[in-house]
Amino acid sequence: MLFNSYEFIFAFLPITLLGFYLIGAKSHHRTAMAWLVGASLFFYGWWNPSYLSVIVISMLFNYAVGTILSGAGKSKLLLTFAVAINLAALAYYKYFNFFIDNLNNLADTSFNIEKIFLPLALSFFTFQQIAYLIDTYRNETREYNFLSYCLFVTFFPQLIAGPIVHHKEMLPQFAKDSLYKLSYRHLIIGFSIFALGFFKKAVLADGTSEYVNLTFMLAEGKTPLTFFAAWAGSLCYAFQLYFDFSGYSDMAIGIARMFGIILPMNFNSPYKSINITVFWRRWHMTLSRFLRDYLYIPLGGNRKGKTRQLINLMLTMVLGGFWHGAGWNFALWGLLHGAYLIIHNTWVSLAKRLGIKIPRIIAWWITISAVLFAWVPFRATTLDGTINLWRAMLGMNGFYLPKWMASYSYGAEAWLAEHQIVFVGIFHNVGSTKLMDILWFVLLFIVTFFIPNTQQLMHKYRPVFEKKRFYTLNKQKLFWRPNFAWAFFTAFLFVYATLSLTRMSEFLYFQF
């Protein structure tokens, strides 16, 4: 069931909320929790009931191992075995087809296996449980009952695509008695966050998909794109992915809040970052946190010298790339970001030594360009497509400029044409440019770069788990408060997004 579907918004969510609070009001807290687990499993099974067995087995196995690890049976061998089993399941479902295909290509063999379908959210709940096991081994968890554990893994707002939650954040919240009492405050704050996310996904992200699809389809076909059209395509994809995934995260955070649960922050205006390290502190923050705590630091982090630190960075990013999917394009994306981080890391030391400081606007421009360049393999389905688009972005296919600019060429048109600069309209071989498209692009640009993000708008009401403020508090006049203007605006966003549902589309991050 998608968050952006009629059945979820008008049936599943209201019924689940009603059941939870009705049961909770009678002080049957464990029953209310069981209701929520049942609802979450129903939500998960809606896509494909056969995958329910995967998540249930995974939960049973990890809880059993966790119980042993927290008691007398604590052993590193058991932990290693359990983590290996989790990773093996992930490897089988997610990477086995990919491995066989590559083996066949490399060794010229012809192993033929049926396509293995990836159970939804496997990458997400596997990571959450690996973290739980490791922390149990480190004595960083408390004793929790099985029901709480099941809810921690299956809690439907964050089950499918995060935010990737940590047991320390979730399990203590489930134990609070106040959770089971209906709170208008939580309900209203939650709904308002949900409405913002819903609008981001259903209107802003889905409304941008057309140009993105067209650009990448052309890049993967035989139509050579030119400089500006290619950058516009990559930028539109950046917008689409950001509004899609951050919209999804807001919806998850909002829904959880309606149940009184506060989830961790997942996005903090990443495209406003002025360097790539900051970008990774602001993009898919719960994944970055997981990779840092359970991969980068165990690999040695920055404690084993500069060279080792840079290698660790690269390894973390390449593996992070692979986490997104079984494809070399994701590895390439990770590789690029690894390289960016190494360059930035080296640059910081050098700049400090030389006393150089880059103006913020230039630092931002370099960062966003690098990010856009790297999104290409993330979205393109073939290496040819990536290369074609990169060639265009590097100006190797020439430049199309607006027709009106021809009158300012002062007779140099022929000479410019020889150097592949022609005045035929920026999107000449892509399609006609309509005024609405330009206005849409401007709207996305303003929302991304100039409007406070959801957490900033809602900051007075603790929208996310982190108490530490990751963001600035500019433009406070725009901040959310329970007044008439916001009631009207929230209702408008919700109704507008609902009207867009007939063009329902899945969240991009579900594929990972």
Partner 1 sequence: MNNFSLYGIRLTIITISLFVITILFCYTVDPFSAYGRIYLQNGAEVNSPGFSYQLRMGKAIAIKRIKPTALIMGSSRSAWGLSPEIANKHFTNKKVYNSAYPAVTMYEILRYFQHTVASAPLKHAYIGLDFYGFHGGRPLASTFREKRLAVDINNQATLFGVSDFSTTLFSGDAVYYAIKVATGLFNKGDLYLTNGFKQLDQPSGGKYAFVSSEKQYINGTYTAPAFTFSTPNKNSSTTFDYFRKVVQLAHEKNIDLHFFISPSHARQWEVIDQLDLWSKWEYWKHEMLHITEQEGSHYKQNPIPIHDFSGYSSYSTESVPRKDGETVQWYSDSSHYKHNLGNILMAEMLQGSGENSFGRILNPKNIKQHLDSINHDKKQYQLSHPQDVLDIQHLVEKRRK
Instruction: Show contacts with partner 1 in window 464-493 (CB under 8 A).
Output: 482-484, 486-488, 490-492
Question: What is the spatial distance between Cα 19 and Cα 38, in angstroms, rounded to a whole number?
Answer: 11
435 binds partner 1 (CB under 8 A): no
Query: Which one of 382, 472, 503, 511 is in contact with partner 1 (CB under 8 A)?
Result: 503
Query: Quick one: tokens of 423?
Result: 């005045």
182 binds partner 1 (CB under 8 A): no
In the complex, the smallest distance separating the C-beta of residue 189 from partner 1, rounded to whole angstroms, is: 8
Query: Which one of 6, 111, 117, 449 is in contact with partner 1 (CB under 8 A)?
Result: 6
3-class SS at 183?
coil
From 166, 324, 337, 344, the catalytic residue: 324
- Other beta carbons within 10 angstroms of residue 466's beta carbon come to 15
Closer Cβ to partner 1, 9 or 253, answer by number:
9
502 binds partner 1 (CB under 8 A): yes
185 binds partner 1 (CB under 8 A): yes
Pick from 241, 203, 286: nearest CA to 379: 241
Query: Quick one: tokens of 46?
Result: 């809606």
208 binds partner 1 (CB under 8 A): no
264 and 249 in contact (C-beta within 8 Å)?
no
131, containing H or E segment: helix 122-137
11 binds partner 1 (CB under 8 A): no
On the CB side of 343, how many CA atoms lie within 13 Å of its CA?
11
86 and 58 in contact (C-beta within 8 Å)?
yes
Closer Cβ to partner 1, 81 or 492, answer by number:
492
501 binds partner 1 (CB under 8 A): yes
Q: Which residue spans within 254-344 are E strands per DSSP?
A: none
114 binds partner 1 (CB under 8 A): no
Q: Does 428 qualify as catalytic in the annotation?
A: no
Closer Cβ to partner 1, 84 or 495, answer by number:
495
CA distances from 429 to 174, 195, 226, 271 (A): 56, 38, 9, 29
Closer Cβ to partner 1, 22 or 487, answer by number:
487
3-class SS at 109?
coil
CA distances from 135 to 49, 105, 139 (A): 31, 40, 6
Binding mask 286-325 for partner 1 (x = CB under 8 A): ----------------------------------------
Question: What is the spatial distance between Cα 101 and Cα 97, in angstroms, rounded to a whole number?
Answer: 6
In sequence order, which residues have a C-beta less than 8 Å from that of residue 191 and are 6 or more positions away? Answer: 254, 258, 490
Closer Cβ to partner 1, 61 or 496, answer by number:
496
18 binds partner 1 (CB under 8 A): no
Query: Which one of 85, 89, 188, 366 is in contact with partner 1 (CB under 8 A)?
Result: 188
In the complex, the smallest distance separating the C-beta of residue 488 from partner 1, rounded to whole angstroms, is: 6
- Interface with partner 1: number of residues (CB under 8 A): 24
Question: What is the spatial distance between Cα 439 and Cα 435, in angstroms, rounded to a whole number?
Answer: 6
Peptide bond into 163 cis (omega under 30): yes
Query: Which one of 499, 506, 507, 509 is in contact with partner 1 (CB under 8 A)?
Result: 499
Closer Cβ to partner 1, 10 or 146, answer by number:
10
In the complex, the smallest distance separating the C-beta of residue 490 from partner 1, rounded to whole angstroms, is: 6
Closer Cβ to partner 1, 399 or 496, answer by number:
496
Crossing angle of helices 29-45 and 146-154, rounded to 10°: 40
Give the binding site for partner 1 (CB under 8 A): 6, 184-185, 187-188, 191, 482-484, 486-488, 490-492, 494-496, 498-503
| Catalytic positions | 324
